Amino acid sequence: MKAFWEALIGPDIVVDGSVLVDHSVLVRDGRIQGVVPIGRIPTEVARRELGSGILTAGLVDVHTHGAAGHSFNAGNVEANKQALGAMLNAGITTVLPTLATAPIESLTQGLAALTTVRNGFGLPRIPGAHLEGPYFSQAQRGAQDSTALRAPADGSIDQLLDHADIIRMVSFAPELTGAVALTEKLVDQGIVAAAGHSDGREADLLACQKAGLSHVIHIFSGQSTTVRRGPWRYPGMLEATLSSEGLTVEMIADGKHLPPALMKMAHRCLAGRLCIVSDSTPGAGMPDGSIYRMGAMEYIVEDGVGMTLDRTSFGGSTTLVSQMLPIAIETLGLGLAEAIAMVTSIPAAAARVSNVGRIAPGFHADFALFDPDLRLRSVALAGQWQETA
């Protein structure tokens, strides 16, 4: 069968740290072959005119609980398809569906449902799931289900690792008994070990990092801070993250979770390793006043963000990463290429996913096409284009 070649022309193209004009992306059978000046497009290659705008790699979200009224915790294949379809429609072509803390049997049911939908046609790529819990600190649980929290040393991880093929990341509190052994077990299975919802100290993070932990979830959210014991000050998880070396770190850039000063602090300390995640919930795309559920917990959409019903904690965001881009650019004064990296190549590296998140030879031909004002216009998965609503 003859290979199908296509040259994408028209928009500016975000390639790694630069924005190229008057260039074309060459695509062959769902893979990127290269980026060349328009004048060097081979004569035998068909041209697809995309119009003016901005062409980026497909967006990558490594922390998202659902969208459009549907939660990955539900363990329902059709619900998963609906949530994933909403994400693809928002330009997100690679996803780590995230399960919040729940009883072990509920988590295994959720993992089984994600295994079923993993290779669904017309849905984002799923390198694996992100288990956000259940090994978290009660003091820093935030909106996590306090009744389902567990200790890493209780043996339950072995039940979850029966589904290791569908698990890409597990986040947990590094100070808990058994956290270092858990880190080692995850790393041995090729699973990303991440810190989160932690009341620990710098030494706890460093011990797990030495064992292979490589990522920290949603900075400033669910993180302990400096404590004083006599004259001595002991950095918490927040300061340990800000001063860390080699770790990738998430930030929820919905303009609700963090005020501008905290977003700027995170960026100044972690630029190049800081990625944007949605931490989206079933509330994404739902109006204020909507009630949604993740596991046994109920939340409400209020003032454009998810909250616990008692309004004591955020319950995830209601904003997808494509909608966070303009917020991050305006708040942090980012250049376009740097902002795009925060929703493409950096989260892909954090999840250790190859062949996505960049416009580069050999990578999947997954793209997001934006208008100049960063309004998403269309998306492509493996070179197949669809308009967005």
- Here the CATH number for the domain that contains residue 19 is 2.30.40.10
In-domain check, residue 273: yes
Residue 12 and residue 132 share a domain: no
Model pLDDT for residues 85-113, shown as the tens digit of each residue: 999 999 999 999 999 999 999 999 999 99
Contact (CB, 8 A) for 71 and 385: no
Same domain, 42 and 167: no
How many domains is the chain partitioned into structurally? 2
Q: How far apart are CA 138 and CA 149, in angstroms?
A: 7
The domain of 36 spans 5-56+361-387
On whether the CB atoms of residues 352 and 344 are closer than 8 A, the answer is: no
Q: Taking Cα atoms as reference points, which of 253, 312, 249, 303 lies closest to residue 280?
A: 253
Examine the domain organization and report whether 148 and 18 are in the same domain: no
Per-residue pLDDT of the chain (389 residues; tens, 9 = 90+): 445 789 999 999 999 989 999 999 999 999 999 999 999 999 889 999 999 999 999 999 999 999 999 999 999 999 999 999 999 999 999 999 999 999 999 999 999 999 999 987 789 999 999 999 999 999 989 888 899 999 999 999 999 999 999 999 999 999 999 999 999 999 999 999 999 999 999 999 999 999 999 999 999 999 999 999 999 999 999 999 999 999 999 999 999 999 999 999 999 999 999 999 999 999 898 899 989 888 778 889 998 998 888 898 888 899 999 999 999 999 999 999 999 999 999 999 999 999 999 999 999 999 999 999 999 999 999 999 987 76
**Does residue 52 share a domain with residue 148?**
no
Whether 168 and 19 share a structural domain? no
Whether residues 367 and 260 share a domain: the answer is no
275 and 212, same domain (yes or no): yes
Considering the domain architecture, whether residues 47 and 89 belong to the same structural domain is answered as no
Examine the domain organization and report whether 252 and 302 are in the same domain: yes
- 44 in the same domain as 148: no
Q: Are residues 21 and 65 in the same domain?
A: no
Domain containing residue 157: CATH number: 3.20.20.140
Q: 3-state class of 47 per DSSP?
A: strand
Q: 3-state class of 12 per DSSP?
A: strand
Question: Residues 271-284: pLDDT tens digits?
Answer: 999 999 999 999 89
Please indicate, yes or no, if residue 356 is contained in any of the structural domains.
no
159 shares a domain with 296: yes
- Cα 130 to Cα 374: distance, rounded to the nearest angstrom: 28
Structure tokens at 366: 């997954």
Amino acid letter, residue 359: I
